[in-house]
Structure 1
């Protein structure tokens, strides 16, 4: 990979992490505001709940699409570590192609549903649901690209390093 693309990718990854951190901070601040208004001021407010739910939805889907690395994904490590590297590569190819097929088949319906949701708005902030759910379309496209990349790497013998259970972690 050319150095300019590598550095651009690193910069974009860092900005995606920054955006994810901003979403988490927003969710936390709104949660504290909700507690203060509900329990200290005895004035329950609903918009804080809406923002918390939206931030959670976007954090999970945006984070999975752009921040979480493949090595941090959940696997059945007992089975995955017990097989040879060639079988491991075959498992990656099979699972990647399956996910690409499922996401690709569902994509037209997903886009159609997101477009349909423009008729609905949230109760308090009046945000159109198509804007809120658009992250799922982005997530689906990112998963298709990611899985095709993983499949390509596995087919050509890259990306399936020897599994070392002593180096397995929770991603932290």
Structure 2
């Protein structure tokens, strides 16, 4: 990849990783404001709860689909770490294929849900719930693309995640340290 493309990719990744951080900061500020208004001013405000719920939904779905890296995911390390790299690649292909299929099958029903929710708005900001739940579609589409790439990389033998050297492998670096 040429250097300008790498810098744009790095910038896009940084911006994608910033979204959950900003949303968590907003949630924290709304929480502090809610505590202050309730216990100091004696006049609680309800919109802070709405902001926190929407931000949390977006943090979870955005974070898992866009910001999380493969090495951040939870694995059954007892089994995964005990098998050879070739079997790990097979595991990655199987699970990536299964997730792509499950998410693809889920798209129509979730699309129906998201578009149906345009009939109702949030209580305080009057935002259509279809906008609030639109992150679900982003999650599904990005996850399908992501796991298709992971499966393809495993199938073709490229893109082995860092830290993949298991107990059966010794790297040159291990012998030089």
C-alpha separation in 2, matches of 1:111 and 1:2 = 37
CA distance in 1, matches of 2:136, 2:127: 16
CA-CA distance at 1:61 after TM superposition: 0.8
- Is the counterpart of residue 126 in structure 1 residue 132 in structure 2? no
1:162 and 2:174 aligned: no
RMSD of aligned residue pairs (Cα, Å) = 1.2
Normalised by the size of structure 1, how large is the TM-score? 0.91
Give, in angstroms, the shift of residue 134 of structure 1.
Answer: 0.2
Consecutive unaligned residues in structure 1, runs of 5 or more: 165-172
Match for residue 105 of structure 1?
Answer: 105
Equivalent pairs, count: 164
TM-score with structure 2 length normalisation? 0.88
Matches within 5 A, 1:20-169: 20-160=20-160, 161-163=164-166
Per-residue deviation at 1:158? 1.9
Shift of 1:4: 3.0
Alignment match, 1:168: none
Q: Could you list the per-position Cα deviations for residues 16-56 of structure 1 after superposition, in whole angstroms to 9, with x for gaps in the alignment?
A: 12222211111111110000011111112111000001111
Structure with greater Cα Rg: 2
Q: Check whether the contact 2:93–2:154 (CA below 8 A) recurs between aligned residues.
A: yes
In structure 2, the gaps of 5 or more residues are 168-177
**Comparing 86-95 and 6-15, the one that deviates more:** 6-15
Moved over 6 A (4+): none
